Amino acid sequence: MRTYLNGLNEIEDGKSVDVYGWVQETRKIKKLLFLILRDNTGVIQVTVKEDNVNNYDEVYGITRESVIRVNGNVNKKSVSRQGIEIVAMEVEILNMAETPLPMGVIDKVTTDFDTRLNNRFIDLRKIGNSLIFRFENELLFFIREYMHSEDFIEVHTPKIVAAATEGGADLFPVSYFEKKAYLNQSPQLYKEILMGSGFDKVFEVGPAFRAEKENTIRHLNEFTSIDVEVSFADDEYVMGVLENSLEYAINHAIDKIGKVLDENGYGIKKISTPFPRVTYSELIEYLQKNNFEIKFGDDFSPEASKFISQKYDSFYFITKWPAELRPFYTMPDKNNQNITNSFDLQLGDIEVCSGAQRIHNYEILEKNFLKKGLNENSFNFYIKAFKFGMPPHAGWGLGLERLVMNILKLNNVRESTLFPRDRSRLSP
């Protein structure tokens, strides 16, 4: 039976255990060898004595990051920095690591980002880096838990599609027998079709693909999207779903692993709802009063977004965006056709989620196709659902990696992506 290193406190002194892990460091004295052993739960010292181990000479030559199994006795009276040690009776080398290592695990020398990503298998052995994905795991678990508690159905929609979700050119074409096809930008169109199917509340967690040429610290060409759609709902309702799900997930994740986050420099605070709401028009006026050259219909520049973010400590919504800045399926405001019932959720100066009430009326949808210059024939499978009883509906799409990047205050979204895909990176 394998014993994880974080479970040694529960083992009685002197008891024999089997532990597995990576050799993080070695210290050698002729007939005595100290190994610092690491698994994904912690670090301990293993003391190897020549008289106790048959293959001592082989173990004495072990390299850093080699993988071993140790059978030995727990010593809780150890004076090592790890607090508990194991006195080895048997050491089995499962895999001897080559030297030199492509990069260090505990070395203080800074490694450049490309080297880290090229050797991701070692980069993720660093507890601070692997912890990002433990947090991401907890966050996603509790988002799912919240959705299920609110009677949402988890769905899985196609990732190979015949038409662009957003109607733009940011698409990856794929070879699909004799037909033209693309990697899906989002599950948007299929979520809406499901509203016409009577599913009422759906959510999906899955990959999304954008052939955007930007190669910035916040852009990826493949990312994980968390999507929600709700029938008989408007933008205000789904903003409530969004903020409540994030409050639930973030606060529960902190309850579970907040201590280890703090210990590794990821100090994050619990959040509360409701999040502040400010309209796009209000922000345009605010920027104009502060000498920004911007007018209605312009998107916010990075400088403008940073200036706006100084007003807010945590999450905030920007609502009522202009129609020209939103996709064709976004519902116009009933009092002003130039603005829409849409929103972005911001954390700092970065958008982490976008959503809206959708158009459910076929005639309005058809007019929007013409306004946006789209070929209606490419969307026949989607439009058909609106002709036979489509309820009012609303939803949103949330980028998981970008959300984690912002919460943990990382410098680059690639840090919160296991194996990033961007304009220049297709491997590993």
List of residues 6+ apart from 3 with CB closer than 8 A: 11, 17, 18, 19
The conformation of residue 133, written as its DSSP 8-state character, comes to H
User: Residues with Cβ < 8 Å from 215, sequence gap 6 or more?
Assistant: 422, 423, 424
Q: Which one from 150, 351, 378, 425 is the annotated catalytic residue?
A: 351
Asked whether the beta carbons of 188 and 195 are under 8 A apart, the reply is no
> Is 2 part of the annotated catalytic residue set?
no
Choosing from 64, 125, 210, 252, the catalytic residue is 210
Q: Which residues, in sequence order, are CB contacts of 127 under 8 Å at separation 6+?
A: 264
**Which two three-digit tokens encode residue 255?**
């309850």
210 classed as catalytic: yes
351 catalytic? Reply is: yes
Q: Which of 64, 218, 358, 393 is catalytic?
A: 218
CA geometry: angle at 319 spanning 408 and 412, to 5°? Answer: 25
> 267 exposed, middle or buried (CB, 10 Å; 0-12, 13-18, 19+)?
exposed
Tokens of 307: 């200036």
DSSP-assigned beta bridge partners for residue 92: 69
Query: What is the dihedral sign for C-alpha 201, 202, 203, 207?
Result: negative
Catalytic entry in 69, 120, 134, 219: 219
Residue 126: partners with Cβ closer than 8 Å, 6 or more residues away: 105, 106
Residue 142 to residue 145: CA distance in whole angstroms: 5
Helical pair 127-149 and 400-407, crossing angle rounded to 10 deg:
120
Q: Note if 58 is an active site residue.
A: no
Cβ 254 vs Cβ 222: under 8 Å: no
Spot the catalytic one: 225, 231, 245, 354: 354
Q: Is 414 tagged catalytic?
A: no
Please give the structure tokens belonging to residue 180.
Answer: 């033209």
Instruction: Tell me: cis bond preceding 276? Omega within 30 of 0 counts.
Output: no
| Alpha-carbon span 16 to 74, nearest angstrom | 6
Task: Copy the structure tokens of residue 57.
Answer: 């000479």
Q: Choose the catalytic residue: 38, 326, 393, 402.
A: 402
- Paired with 277 in beta bridges are 317
- The catalytically annotated residue of 212, 281, 305, 378 is 212
Cβ-contact 403, 352 below 8 angstroms: yes
| Whole-number Å distance between alpha carbons of 138 and 305 | 29
Contact 411, 217 (CB under 8 A): yes
Catalytically active residues are 210, 212, 218-219, 351, 354, 402
